[in-house]
Structure 1
Amino acid sequence: MKRYDERDTMFARMVYKKGSKAYEDYYARNHEKKAIDDELRDMPELCSPETPTYDPVDAKIPDANFKFLADIRQLAEGEKNGNKTPIEAENISERLKKLALYYGAKHAGIAKMQEYHYYSHRGRLPEHYGEKVTDLLPYGIAFTVEMKREGVDKAPLLPEIIESSRAYVEAAVIGMQLAYFIRELGYGARVHMDGNYLIIAPLVARDAGIGVIGRHGLLITPKYGTSVRIGVVTTDMPLVPDQKLDIQIEKFCEICGLCASTCPGRAIPEGPRQEIDGILKWQVNQEKCYGFWRKVGTDCGICMKSCPFGKSIELLDLLKPKFIENPSKLFKEHLNRE
Structure 2
Amino acid sequence: MGIVSTYLRAFNTNKLDPYPVEILKRVDKPTTVVLESEIPRLDERESGFNRAHRGDFGPHLTRERQRFVGKHPLSAALGNMQFTLAHVVDGIVAQEKAPLPNDPALMARHIKETAYFLRADIVAVSELPSYAVYSHSMATGEPVELNHKYAISIIVDQDWKTAEATVGNDWISNSMSFVAYSTSGFIACILADYIRRLGYPARAHHARNYQVVIPPILLKAGIGEMCRIGDIVLNPFLGPRFKAAVVTTDLPLAVDKPIDFGLQDFCSKCGKCARYCPTGSISFGEKVTRNGYEKWPNDMEKCTRGRVGNTKGSGCGVCVAVCSWNKPYTPFHRLVQWSMRNIPVARRFAVWGDDLLGYGQPKLKNKWWLDLEEVDGKLIVPTQAGQRGNHRRKQA
TM-score by length of 2: 0.72
1:162-173 correspondence to structure 2 within 5 Å: 162-173=175-186
Residue identity in the other structure for 2:223:
I
Secondary structure in structure 2 of the residue aligned to 1:76: coil
- Establish whether residue 319 from structure 1 lines up as the match of residue 344 from structure 2: no
Residue identity in the other structure for 2:62:
R
Q: Give 1:306's match in structure 2, choosing from 318, 322, 336.
A: 322
**Post-superposition offset of 1:135:** 1.4
Structure 1 residues 75-109: Cα deviation after superposition (integer angstroms, max 9, x where no partner): 01111111111332111111011111121111110
Q: Give 1:8's match in structure 2, choosing from 46, 61, 65.
A: 46
Distance 1:150 1:63 in 2: 21
Distance 1:109 1:317 in 2: 24
Distance 1:159 1:278 in 2: 35
**Post-superposition offset of 1:254:** 1.1
Cross-structure match for 1:120: 135
Aligned length: 306
Check whether the contact 2:85–2:189 (CA below 8 A) recurs between aligned residues: no
Distance 2:130 2:337 in 1: 28
**Post-superposition offset of 1:287:** 1.2
% same residue: 26
Distance 1:279 1:105 in 2: 29
Distance 1:162 1:133 in 2: 30
**Post-superposition offset of 1:12:** 2.2
Residue identity in the other structure for 1:301:
G
Distance 1:74 1:181 in 2: 16
Cross-structure match for 1:147: 158
Cross-structure match for 1:132: 143
1:182-331 correspondence to structure 2 within 5 Å: 182-217=195-230, 218-296=232-310, 297-311=313-327, 317-320=339-342, 322-323=343-344, 325=345, 327-331=347-351
Residue identity in the other structure for 1:260:
A
Residue identity in the other structure for 1:329:
F
**Post-superposition offset of 1:295:** 2.7
Moved more, 39-48 or 206-215: 39-48
- Give the direction of change, closer, same or farther, for the CA distance of 1:146–1:308 in structure 2 (3 Å limit): same
Residue identity in the other structure for 1:46:
F
Check whether the contact 2:340–2:346 (CA below 8 A) recurs between aligned residues: no
Residue identity in the other structure for 1:268:
I
- Give the direction of change, closer, same or farther, for the CA distance of 1:269–1:66 in structure 2 (3 Å limit): same
Distance 1:226 1:92 in 2: 29
Secondary structure in structure 1 of the residue aligned to 2:184: helix
- Give the direction of change, closer, same or farther, for the CA distance of 1:5–1:316 in structure 2 (3 Å limit): farther
Check whether the contact 1:145–1:171 (CA below 8 A) recurs between aligned residues: yes
Structure 2 unmatched ranges of 5 or more = 1-38, 328-332, 359-396
TM-score by length of 1: 0.84
Cross-structure match for 1:332: 352
Distance 2:216 2:52 in 1: 23
**Post-superposition offset of 1:42:** 4.4
Distance 2:236 2:354 in 1: 16
**Post-superposition offset of 1:250:** 1.7
Residue identity in the other structure for 1:77:
D
- Give the direction of change, closer, same or farther, for the CA distance of 1:8–1:249 in structure 2 (3 Å limit): same
Q: Give 1:83's match in structure 2, choosing from 96, 113, 124.
A: 96
Distance 1:300 1:237 in 2: 37
Check whether the contact 1:143–1:205 (CA below 8 A) recurs between aligned residues: no
Distance 1:317 1:220 in 2: 17
Moved more, 188-197 or 79-88: 79-88
After superposing on structure 2, the runs of 4+ consecutive aligned residues of structure 1 that deviate more than 6 Å are: none
**Post-superposition offset of 1:327:** 3.4
Check whether the contact 2:269–2:348 (CA below 8 A) recurs between aligned residues: yes
Q: Give 2:126's match in structure 1, choosing from 111, 124, 127.
A: 111
**Post-superposition offset of 1:60:** 1.6
Distance 2:287 2:159 in 1: 30
Distance 1:113 1:198 in 2: 12
Secondary structure in structure 2 of the residue aligned to 1:219: strand
